[in-house]
Chains A and B, each alone.
Chain A
Amino acid sequence: MIVYLYDGSFEGLLCSFYRALKTEDDPEEIVSREKGLRPLASEVREIDTDRDRAGEVHSGIKDEISSGAARNVKYCYLSEKSGIEIRLLEYLRLGFHSGSSLDDKLDQDPVFEIHQLARKVGRERHRMLGLVRFREMERGGYYAPIEPDYNIVGLLAPHFSSRMRDQNWILHDRERDLAVVYNREEWVLTKLDGDELPQYSTEEGLYQHLWRRYFDSASVPGRENEELQRQYMPRRYWDNLVEVD
């Protein structure tokens, strides 16, 4: 049984696909080095990460299958679901065979599974576009802590860089110690220790207070439905919000 070991990056994963598709390897598993190996693995192949090669694979998926398929691959990778790498390889094998009609073949394994997972990641991304809460820092600029289920902080960056264009901000995934930092011109994805929180400005407290007051006043008495509220806005997100305890 052949097992691929890659560095855990998206580029590394794309290089694993390249090798699997170009050789007779037929790996049984593709595993990130961080996650470690199962002891049973007999034949381990180390995959080198080559950015140019990864770029080729990525445009190959876009050109020969579709940009939707390329997005599905990226989103599933960001789900960090264990074992998803090999399912993505199966998806791409089918894709390079069938071309742009790949995503209509919901009855062929693993198309539907990939779609479902990509959709979950997309849903969390969309949900988070609303649930991110920036706080004004004492030293200027804004800071927002998040703890999403999936590794989506990078997917949020384009939205907030075009929206919050004229302010500096940091969007911080405190679980994964990852952050997007934006300086009014461009954003970068970088490592950032999750333990320390910045000092907030004095005005910050006022607007948080006003927002809480607004939130409480906006509910219509006689229509309470907290179950519905939690369905849309699950509890696990509440820690990083401002308006709910």
Chain B
Amino acid sequence: MELHEKLEILTAAAKYDVSCSSSGSNRGNEGGIGNASRGGICHSWTSDGRCLSLLKILLSNRCIYSCSYCINSADNEVPRTSFTPEEVANLTLNFYRRNYIEGLFLSSAVEKSPTYTMERLYRTARILREEEGFYGYIHLKAIPGADYAAIRKAGEYADRVSVNIELPSEKSLNKLAPGKNKEAILGPMKKIGNDISSNEKERKRSGRGKFVPAGQSTQMIVGASPEPDSHIMDLSESLYDNFNMKRVYYSAFVPVRENQNLPGIADPPLLREHRLYQADWLIRRYNFETAELFNGEEENLDYRLDPKAIWALNHPEFFPVEVNAATYDELIRVPGLGSKSASRILKAGRHGSVDYDFLKEIGVVLKRGKFFLTCKGEYRGGLEFRPEKVREKLLRASGKKLEEKQLPLFEPNQFSEKDEDAGTDPLLAAVSGSGTNL
């Protein structure tokens, strides 16, 4: 098979992994080619509007597993092929030297066995680092079920390593990914997390080699299984807290093949995915706790507005906030205000007082913000702060916006029957530390 045919097959098969981040590493150039940029760099944007930063391909799409949601499932009839580690290294270098990419994101279907596959991923990284003097970004998948020794070796060359959770509960994993189990996924994830933190400490002391300096990430598919948003966010929060996770990615389920176990949906739940990212952001950067994002008995986010606005509307007791008297933590909870604007307000407040013109100048989204704040006592969101009125106005504005973007306001739940023996999901329990040891 020609190289370009392999490339097309193994790119198309890899694109459902959403992460393309190249940030978080500062590997320097020690005399060869390349380096990493801490903030990450996008090199292009595909026609779906996603940033293209890494050469994201599979080493092979020949798979021994049959996961229902996956295009590479063993029982799916698609053309199969594999790269050699040398081919991938050569492609990476030639793309890198032309500044097409920040580096390589290499994953693979499970060819022959998990350990065999992991060894080949490792070999590719070793060629790049040891033989070609490549200092650019490398993200490798850790293959569930592989010997940890092989994963550990790969982590010495990689900037980031990720193990995909794929499905957010044990039950869904058993149903849709029968070849994988929670131990095979969470086990290496836990070990990688531990090794990252001990490596960080040791590196400071002894300057020994890096291990996964940009941290580990994972991905969950949203909408292929019945777990509600509150379950998904609980899982994410626990992964951040207990597994030393840097990022959790959410991937709206795109039906790539028909299967009786899967919901028959026409469009991927993009709005839901978007809201989950916003909620995740609030947890990681804005000191929110998962429980705060769900009102009362609600199990799913209200997709009509962003989760911060929803929270604010459910907590009228905090609003409106007087920007000239508020602390940083109060400011970042105001819809329309971000961490940058909050710091600027505080800085400027020290030199004078902040008025509406100033807010506009520093880029505060007053369309939303005006309902939740006062400036020198002045309120511009109407006569006075009335949560119900504000909710109405925001919903109207957001409805229009979503219509323009052609996103459905309501995403029907594909899973009509309620989970009968819901109980506690063993996967979530294991991650949150209340379950069995791994």
Contact = CB atoms under 8 A, between A and B. Distances in A.
A229 B47 contact: yes
A122 to B, nearest CB: 12
A172 interface: no
Interface in B55-91: 55-57, 91
A112 B12 contact: no
B348 A107 contact: yes
A101 B351 contact: yes
A77 B255 CA distance: 52
Interface residues of B, number: 54
Contact of B270 (A160, A223, A243): A223
A203 B95 CA distance: 12
Interface string A165-189: 1110000000000000000000000
Interface string B370-398: 00000000000000000000000000000
Contacts of A213: 4, 7-8, 11
B49 A229 contact: yes
A219 B354 CA distance: 45
Contact of A112 (B41, B53, B56, B361): B361
> Of A107, A218, A242, which is in contact with the most chain B CB atoms at under 10 Å from its CB?
A218
B98 A207 contact: yes
Given A165-B33, A214-B11, A233 B45 contact: yes
Nearest to B273: A223
Nearest to A219: B46
Interface residues of A, number: 51
A132 B100 CA distance: 8
Contacts of B32: 165-166
Contacts of B50: 219-220, 223
Contact of B33 (A144, A167, A210): A167
Contacts of A217: 7-8, 11-12, 15
B287 interface: no
B44 A129 contact: no
Contacts of A11: none
B401 interface: no
A93 B95 CA distance: 48
A24 interface: no
Contacts of A136: 97-98
Nearest to B18: A220
Contacts of A142: 97-98
Nearest to B37: A129
A165 B136 CA distance: 12
A112 B352 CA distance: 15
Contacts of A106: 344, 347-348, 358, 361-362
Interface string B259-282: 000000001101000000000000
A232 to B, nearest CB: 5
Contact of B46 (A160, A166, A218): A218
Contacts of A105: 348, 351
A107 B49 contact: no
Contacts of B351: 101, 104-105, 107
A214 B9 CA distance: 10
A218 B351 CA distance: 50
A196 interface: no
Contact of B15 (A132, A163, A219): A219
A11 to B, nearest CB: 30
A163 B35 contact: yes
Contacts of A233: 44-45
A241 B47 contact: no
Contacts of B344: 106
A207 B91 CA distance: 8
Contacts of B347: 104, 106
A222 B35 contact: no
Contacts of A191: none
A133 B46 CA distance: 16
Interface in A201-222: 203, 207, 209-211, 213-215, 217-220, 222
Contacts of A18: none
Contacts of A132: 99
B97 A164 contact: yes
B43 interface: yes
A105 B48 CA distance: 40
Nearest to A209: B4
Contacts of B37: 129
Contacts of A164: 33, 97, 99
A159 to B, nearest CB: 8
B42 A214 contact: no
A107 B358 contact: yes
Interface in B161-184: none
Interface string A224-242: 1111110111000000011
A151 to B, nearest CB: 20
Contacts of B43: 130-131
B268 A223 contact: yes
Given A210-B7, A213-B8, A232 B31 contact: no
Contacts of B336: none
Given A107-B351, A225-B48, A214 B133 contact: no
A150 interface: no
A135 interface: yes
A134 interface: yes
B352 A219 contact: no
B15 A133 contact: no
A167 B32 CA distance: 9
A162 interface: yes
B44 A215 contact: yes
A223 B407 CA distance: 11
Contacts of B33: 163-167
Contacts of B52: 215, 218
A167 B97 CA distance: 8
A215 B45 CA distance: 9
Given A126-B41, A214-B57, A223-B48, 4 more contacts: A105-B348, A220-B48, A226-B47, A241-B44
7 contacts: A106-B344, A107-B348, A112-B361, A142-B98, A162-B28, A211-B100, A224-B48
A-B pairs with the 6 shortest C-beta distances?
A228-B49, A225-B49, A217-B11, A219-B46, A223-B48, A130-B43
